[in-house]
Amino acid sequence: MIKASYKKYVLNFKNPSGTSRGILRTKETWFLVLEQKGKVGYGETGLFRGLSIDDVPNYEEKLSWVCKNINLGVKKLLIETVCFPSIQFSLEQAFLSLKSNNPFELFPSKFTKSNASIPINGLIWMGDKSFMKSQILEKLKAGFSCIKMKIGAINFDTEVSLLKYIRKEFSASDVELRVDANGAFSPNEALDKLQVLSALNLHSIEQPISQGQIKEMAELCLKSPLPIALDEELIGVFSSVKKREIIKTIKPHYIILKPSLVGGFSGTKEWIDVAEENNVEWWITSALESNIGLNAIAQFTYILDSKLPQGLGTGSLFNNNFSSPLEVNKGSLIYNNSLNWDFKL
């Protein structure tokens, strides 16, 4: 028999981090803990307030139900939690962790053996011009060759001037630039703004208009001079039929997958299968998890062998994260086995 429990944990940002949805100062998360015959397994839920489809009043009630019914097994529990993708993610992690000889090694690989790394993008958070410029300089100095800048919260012309500043110093062959609008543009203005951005040799733009506007997004993908990546558009889509319908209707250039938001490893893999059937490229991104969730996502991402830079460098944002072997080195995420885990709840 497996014994299950969960515990809430509040992550504190080192610096308030700006998005188009407002300023983030804290991030709630929950840890699922499984115990059996002296072994332990951990999983992080990764709920994202205001974004996760499972941001509902009975969230902890569902977690409690999962713990009471843990011996149904992972397959049945994943079916029972289909509307709670972050809980699905924690279940998959926790069962793999319990099964492993090392609770933090879910997918053994060259990455977990410290023999390989994962290229990642450097993330630029929203803020005033001087703050964003300082972040850009910091990421370039740290050796990132791919930078992702969140846009849509300050004046568009100011954001464009920041991107022009990068392009003046670094060509597209030197630094790949991605932008993430988080749905900040209206359908009426989006194409004009994409025309302006396309002159800056950007790699892509994430979610230029808000999710749920399928017809408008499809038209934008058809006309846009800049490749479009779907992100929020994938949240809350549970059936494989609906996933195929979205990809075939919108015809995006890329999709971006956050396991916490799309149903863990199995939900992510289903989206990847649909994308590849339709010649759509993809990459994987963390969603402000602690190092427990980030570790799981990174290990899973490595075994999928994507050649694109991934979005996996968020663990350093918090001042009360857990020490781990995860390190960012010259624009890549590495698993440094000379460092130890310090995970205490």
DSSP letters for 129-181: HHHHHHHHHHHHHTT-SEEEEE-SSS-HHHHHHHHHHHHHHS-TTT-EEEEE-
Local confidence band at 18 (pLDDT 50, 70, 90 cut-offs)? low
Return the residue matching tokens 């490893």. 265
- Top pLDDT among 151 and 291 is at 291
Q: If one looks up domain 3-99 in CATH, what number appears?
A: 3.30.390.10
Per residue in 210-223, pLDDT (tens digit) is 999 999 999 999 99
For 118-335, the fitting CATH number among 3.30.160.60, 3.20.20.120, 3.40.50.970, 3.40.640.10 is 3.20.20.120
- Top pLDDT among 258 and 24 is at 258
Q: CATH 3.30.390.10 region(s) of the chain?
A: 3-99
Local confidence band at 140 (pLDDT 50, 70, 90 cut-offs)? confident
79 burial level (CB within 10 Å; 0-12, 13-18, 19+): exposed
Residue 22 has pLDDT above 80, yes or no: no
Residue 244 has pLDDT above 90, yes or no: yes
The stretch 227-240 carries a mean pLDDT of 96
Nearest C-alpha neighbor of 260 from the set 55, 109, 99:
55
Pair 318, 10: CB distance under 8 Å: no
Return the residue matching tokens 């410290």. 114
Residue 152 has pLDDT above 90, yes or no: no
The stretch 1-26 carries a mean pLDDT of 85
The stretch 247-268 carries a mean pLDDT of 97
How high is the pLDDT of residue 12?
94
Catalytic residue positions?
A: 150, 258
Q: CATH 3.20.20.120 region(s) of the chain?
A: 118-335
How high is the pLDDT of residue 1?
94
Q: What is the DSSP string of 205-258?
A: EE-SB-TT-HHHHHHHHHH-SS-EEESGGGTT---HHHHHHHHHHH--SEEEE-
How high is the pLDDT of residue 15?
79
How high is the pLDDT of residue 225?
96
Residue 78 has pLDDT above 80, yes or no: yes
H or E element at residue 277? helix 264-277
Percent of the chain whose predicted confidence (pLDDT) is above 90: 78
Among 61-65, 154-158, 287-291, the least confident range? 154-158
Largest Cα–Cα distance of the chain, in whole Å? Answer: 62
Residue 237 has pLDDT above 80, yes or no: yes
Whole-model pTM: value is: 0.94
Local confidence band at 16 (pLDDT 50, 70, 90 cut-offs)? confident
How high is the pLDDT of residue 20?
55
Residue 147 has pLDDT above 80, yes or no: yes
Average pLDDT, the chain: 93
